[in-house]
Chain A
Amino acid sequence: MSTTTADTVFERPAQRSWLPTVAIWVVLLTVPLWLPWIGGYTALAGRVLVLGLAAMALNFLLGFTGVMSFGHAAYFGLGCYGTGLTLKYLSDSTPLAMLVGILLGGIAGTVFGALIVRRRGVYFAMVTIAFGQICYYVAYRWNSLTGGDDGLRGFQRQPLHIGNWIIDIQNNPVLFYYFIAAVFAVCIGLMAFLLRSPFGRTLLAIRENERRARFLGIPVERHIWLSFSISCFFTAAAGSLYALLNNFADPMTLHFTLSGEIVIMAVMGGMRAFWGPLVGAAVFVVLQDYISSMTVNWMSFIGLLFVLVVLFFPRGLLGFVRAYSEK
């Protein structure tokens, strides 16, 4: 893996780097205009953005720090439940509910990260999976609070009040889509900023050669812990949006199956490309939506997708495109 050098993030020529960003934003912002024409629906686009944010947040850790978490569904699901529970029991303010969800998932990740930061490789992955399953079982068992297996129902996203303005994201799906896009923009903007900062470059150094980074006096554990926590906060933000999108919190959002799906989105799109996970999420969500409406044996097809990606597209779609365009 260390054969690819750090060219992906900061050594590409500056005059080219804005082009994909502009293209992606043009596509994202015009989605409500053209999606119905090709048979999609706006909630599907919302799902792509939400899971894309989760995959990009995971990739902050996986692709740019080189640490493999297989339990990110936990933080996604905690964000989801935190938001849902706040809206149901505490307050009818959407921003407050999101804040609670993000803090719940992010702080859980930060505390847990401190426990496991010395582990590496598959062992790190295994411990993160096991922790994720704790959250799943709590949601599954704590019937009176979380609704158990049926999931948490009985809450709705509320319109936003900004001064005298009311933005009705509750009933207008297109407005809500743009709300998701706005949160998405803030989150990935922050991640891009962090990756370009000295802190982000230190993470890349750790990914490329942990031992050398340690010799340089970089506190590796602290950086991995920070990276893990940041990744968890953004994943929780995605989960929080997911609760608002569905008006429902599903225990399956905490299950390790979703963790695996988030990882495959990142890998399928391209772990070393900043936008890769979003592309992967788009492909995965649309395929899953399509296949599961076509056949009951959709699990085989999704499984096959995993196998094919791993064997034939290990560098992901964007990695493939880049390798092709550089020939």
Chain B
Amino acid sequence: MLQLVLFNVFNGLIIGAFYVLMALGLAMILNLSNVINFAHGNFLALGGYIAFVLTPYIGFWGALLVSPLLTAVLGLLLERFLVRKLYGRDPVYSLLLTFGLAFIIQDVCRYIWGPNGLPVSVPPSLATPLSNELFFVTGYRLFMVAVVIVAVIALFLFLRYSRMGMRIRAGTLDLETVAALGINVRLLRSLNFAVGIFLAGLAGVLAGGQIGLNPNMGDDLLMPSFIAIIVGGVGSLTGTLVGGLLIGVAGALTTVFYPSASEAVIYIIMMLVLLIRPRGLMGEEGMLT
């Protein structure tokens, strides 16, 4: 029983790690640009597919580095030519735009790579279990968790200490003042968008190695990521981090006792949070509400 619980907690942490990568990117874009990026899950799929294409040439490690960057460049182009036009307009338009983009990207992926699952080959050094008792702890899964931890720490350091990061945080609180202080807000938003998409691309490569690729692989992650943001509190990235891990582990633990409720439980958590603490666990009252 203990092993089963451990197994599921570990699974939950891995799923939660994906939620966190997705949700952090979504939340950054939401906080600074007031845009809900429906296509976020499709950027995740794109990241995975780009890695699939690159792996034969530069290996898994190369793809892990290059693919998120290329995904971010694609995101940057879409931001520059489409999303940017809608800043400051009624948010319904940017929602519909990313909604349409999600359709298009998914269909293009299906057109190019086919509707069936494709594997991303993982280096053999990562594919073996570490021990017999803890059979579920393969090297690759530990590696994924490690990459996510490094990425999240790097993101928080970037936001906390770099000049750009501080501007992003300031812009989240009061974009007008930031603009009035002479900072190029358009560039800031583009960069912020690219960082968010980079995280999605990274999640895509990691997910590809774990569960394989298919055109709608991001769809199942999108909704939990929304919920991670709502539970954690809009405007607080730490909250999003906690929210993602919380619903990941809660969902996985529920699988032990009552498997068919594993998805329901994250919605129940969301409803409880909305009832008891509408601003979210770590959200501040008045942020974006």
Q: Do A and B bind each other?
A: yes
Q: How far is the CB of A55 from chain B (nearest CB, A)?
A: 13
Q: Chain A residues near B93 (CB, 8 Å)?
A: 267, 310, 314
Stretch with Cβ within 8 A of B (4 or more), from A29-37, A121-129, A153-161, A245-253: A121-129
A122 touches B34 (CB 8 A): yes
Total A-B residue pairs with C-beta atoms closer than 8 Å? 125
Residue of B nearest to A135 (CB): B267
A125 touches B97 (CB 8 A): no
CA distance A303 to B227 in the complex (A): 25
Query: Within 8 Å of chain A (Cβ to Cβ): is B278?
Result: yes
Query: Within 8 Å of chain B (Cβ to Cβ): is A325?
Result: no
CA distance A264 to B267 in the complex (A): 26
B111 touches A1 (CB 8 A): no
With A260-B96, A302-B103, A306-B103: A122-B82 Cβ-Cβ less than 8 Å:
no
Q: Chain A residues near B94 (CB, 8 Å)?
A: 310
A125 touches B36 (CB 8 A): yes
Residue of A nearest to B86 (CB): A310
Looking at chain B's contact residues, the main secondary structure is helix
With A127-B274, A130-B226, A141-B263: A303-B100 Cβ-Cβ less than 8 Å:
yes
Q: Chain B residues near A62 (CB, 8 Å)?
A: 92
CA distance A299 to B102 in the complex (A): 9
Query: Within 8 Å of chain B (Cβ to Cβ): is A322?
Result: no
15 additional contacts (CB under 8 A) given A134-B267, A137-B264, A307-B101: A118-B289, A121-B91, A122-B35, A126-B30, A126-B230, A260-B38, A260-B96, A260-B99, A263-B92, A264-B100, A300-B103, A300-B107, A303-B99, A305-B100, A306-B96
List 6 A–B pairs whose Cβ atoms lie within 8 Å, in order of A's numbering: A133-B267, A134-B271, A300-B103, A304-B104, A306-B101, A310-B97
Residues of A within 8 A of B (CB): 1, 62, 68, 70, 115-116, 118-123, 125-127, 129-130, 133-134, 137-138, 141, 256, 260, 263-264, 267, 271, 297, 299-300, 302-307, 309-311, 314
Residues of B within 8 A of A (CB): 30, 34-36, 38, 82, 85-86, 89-97, 99-104, 106-108, 111, 223, 226-227, 229-230, 234, 260, 263-264, 267, 270-271, 274-275, 278, 288-289
